[in-house]
Structure 1
Amino acid sequence: MNHRALAAAAITVVLWASAFVAIRSAVQDYSPGALALGRLAVGTIALFAILLIRREGLPPRQSWPGILISGVLWFGVYMVALNWGEQQVDAGTAAMVMGVGPVLIALLGGWFLKEGFPGRLIAGMVVSFAGAAVVGASMSEGGASSVLGVGACLLAAVSWAVAIMVQKPALRHASALQVTAYGCLVGAIACLPFAGSLVEEAARAPLSATLNLVYLGVFPTAVAFTTWAYALARTTAGAMGATTYAVPALVVVLAWVTLREVPGWLTFAGGVLCLAGVAVTRSKRQTVS
């Protein structure tokens, strides 16, 4: 991975980590479907404004199957399922279940995309997954978790993994901006059944919640999904999936700084494991031919 792609991946990880803090505030006033639609609508507007400025037209025909499928699964199903899941279970349980996503990406990428199973990648993912589990356990509120909530988080993880399998081939024919912008549009269209809820909830939501929704649309969606696609086009799906294990560690830091939630030693240790695992996967450059 070249330096620009590495920087793009770093931007993605930081912005996706910040999304967890924003979502925690927004879900108090917006239902899962309404929040997803609002976020996608804002993201679509921002992305198409950039498309117009850059004068990029429609993506090539060969990229459309990947754009349509990833748009429905990742921008649509994933966002609604994750929002819903995080309302049903505690943050720790959600973090542990979502940790399955990068593992599925590596397995599916090795099989469907013929990326193989590099030893450093597998070793790093084992370490990072252990770290994510430790972070999740330390953040768990205890008690029984909602079966439906866990199922929703698992659905989000599976949708994300499958979406990456079709998004990467699409990036061979279209730019990262095109794939992201039109995928976001497809996701927004898929979420239109929640339009009524969005209008009603926006009318009574406090300004802080709506600003969080706008932030989610512009930065963790429009910017971060584009930088993700840019980096994904220049490395393997497995390596990119492993990179996202840095997110739990950054969430702990951001919650500490912005929410004054002081992490316990177990949470801190799990975050260190997550970062150590990512370092192992990056100790040998993962590139595409």
Structure 2
Amino acid sequence: MTQASTSRRAALIALAFPTLIWSYNWIVMKQALQFSGPFEFSALRYVGGTIVLFAVLLVRRESLRPPPLVPTAMIGLAQTLGFQLLVQWALVDGGAGKTALLAYSMPFWLVLFGWLVWKVRPAPRLIAGLAVAGIGLVLVLEPWLGLGDGRSSLLALAGGFAWAIGVSLSKRLFERGGINVLSLTAWQMLIGSAGMVVIALLVPERPIEWSNAFIAALLYNTVLASGLAWLLWSFVVAELPANVAGLSSLVIPIAGVAFAWALLGERPSPVECVGIVFIAVALLLVNWRSGEAQSR
């Protein structure tokens, strides 16, 4: 077995861990709200995650020099501050499974953002993915039943949009060359976390109940979801083709729905189940690449 095939096999194994960690974390984030307000939990989580990522940079003896500050700050405000606050707020009234699914509308927003802002016309396959996703979102939201948890759904969708802005800006920054994935992740998280701390201090919330369950949720988010998972993800991105890594965005929200069903009793309606299938198909269309791309 060649060194390249060994590295690829290791990366495929590594991909399973961030996928599982991030899927289950939707349950952890929902349960953490029993003991804290959404903004304080987000601030504590990402301050801890930032410390973990900078510790990893130190252990790996990588440069602590920040990437270009203006685009990095914009990424942090969108991808960390905007995304995390919106989805955590959505979880206050919304189910973990549905919130995860709607937040992972990010790939569809990314295609639209690139089309409208960067004037990158999507391929017919991507347009088809957007159309299928639109049908799936309507079925999941079931607007004919009334608003219901409409605010939560809109917050989750807005979180996916904020995430898409961050990803789009990241792609533009990486195109310049010379940008370290882990360094950019750490610095944008530092900037986003600073914004979270300010909001947590300004917005009144109920006092935190420092229970063992809450501390465990914080540790899960800082060490696993923000530390280990990101480190493994950096390895996966470096070793695997983009389409293989991207397909994890198909697994995470679907697994999140399954976890919410099994552990929180959030059973989707038959119409929602059909919508989930449509969104899964759309994610597959958006993330799929041609045979030529797969061989790279």
Higher mean C-alpha displacement, 216-225 vs 52-61 = 216-225
CA RMSD in angstroms, aligned pairs only: 3.9
1:123 deviates by 2.2
Q: Deviations over 1:181-228 (max 9, x none)?
A: 1111111111222259899844x2321122112212233333445566
* Contiguous gaps of at least 5 residues in structure 2: 1-6
Taking structure 1 as reference, are residues 133 and 98 closer, same or farther at Cα in structure 2, changes over 3 Å only?
farther
Q: Answer yes or no: is the 8 Å Cα contact 1:94–1:136 preserved in 2.
A: no
Paired residues, number = 280
Q: Distance in 1 between matches of 2:86 and 2:212?
A: 25
Q: Deviations over 1:226-269 (max 9, x none)?
A: 566676788779x95x8634433211222244345555554444
Q: Answer yes or no: is the 8 Å Cα contact 1:89–1:145 preserved in 2.
A: no
Q: Answer yes or no: is the 8 Å Cα contact 1:21–1:254 preserved in 2.
A: yes
Q: Deviations over 1:7-33 (max 9, x none)?
A: 777655443322211111011211111
Taking structure 1 as reference, are residues 231 and 131 closer, same or farther at Cα in structure 2, changes over 3 Å only?
farther
Q: Distance in 2 between matches of 1:248 and 1:13?
A: 10
Counterpart in 1 of 2:75? Answer: 70
1:25 aligns to 2:25 (yes or no)? no
1:213 aligns to 2:218 (yes or no)? yes
1:43 aligns to 2:46 (yes or no)? no
SS of 2:79's equivalent in the other structure is: helix
Q: Distance in 1 between matches of 2:30 and 2:178?
A: 37
Higher mean C-alpha displacement, 260-269 vs 168-177 = 260-269
1:164 aligns to 2:167 (yes or no)? yes
| TM-score between both structures, scaled by the size of structure 1 | 0.76
Structure showing greater Rg: 2
Q: Answer yes or no: is the 8 Å Cα contact 1:104–1:161 preserved in 2.
A: yes
Taking structure 1 as reference, are residues 60 and 46 closer, same or farther at Cα in structure 2, changes over 3 Å only?
closer
Q: Deviations over 1:30-72 (max 9, x none)?
A: 11110111110121121112111111113465x3332211112
1:117 deviates by 0.9
| TM-score between both structures, scaled by the size of structure 2 | 0.74
Aligned counterpart for 1:101 among listed residues 103, 106, 131? 106
Taking structure 1 as reference, are residues 40 and 86 closer, same or farther at Cα in structure 2, changes over 3 Å only?
same
* Contiguous gaps of at least 5 residues in structure 1: none
Taking structure 1 as reference, are residues 263 and 269 closer, same or farther at Cα in structure 2, changes over 3 Å only?
same
Counterpart in 1 of 2:147? Answer: 144
Taking structure 1 as reference, are residues 158 and 35 closer, same or farther at Cα in structure 2, changes over 3 Å only?
same
1:282 aligns to 2:288 (yes or no)? yes
Q: What percent of counterpart residues are identical? A: 23
1:244 aligns to 2:249 (yes or no)? yes
Q: Answer yes or no: is the 8 Å Cα contact 1:90–1:145 preserved in 2.
A: no
1:156 deviates by 2.1
Q: Answer yes or no: is the 8 Å Cα contact 2:101–2:257 preserved in 1.
A: no
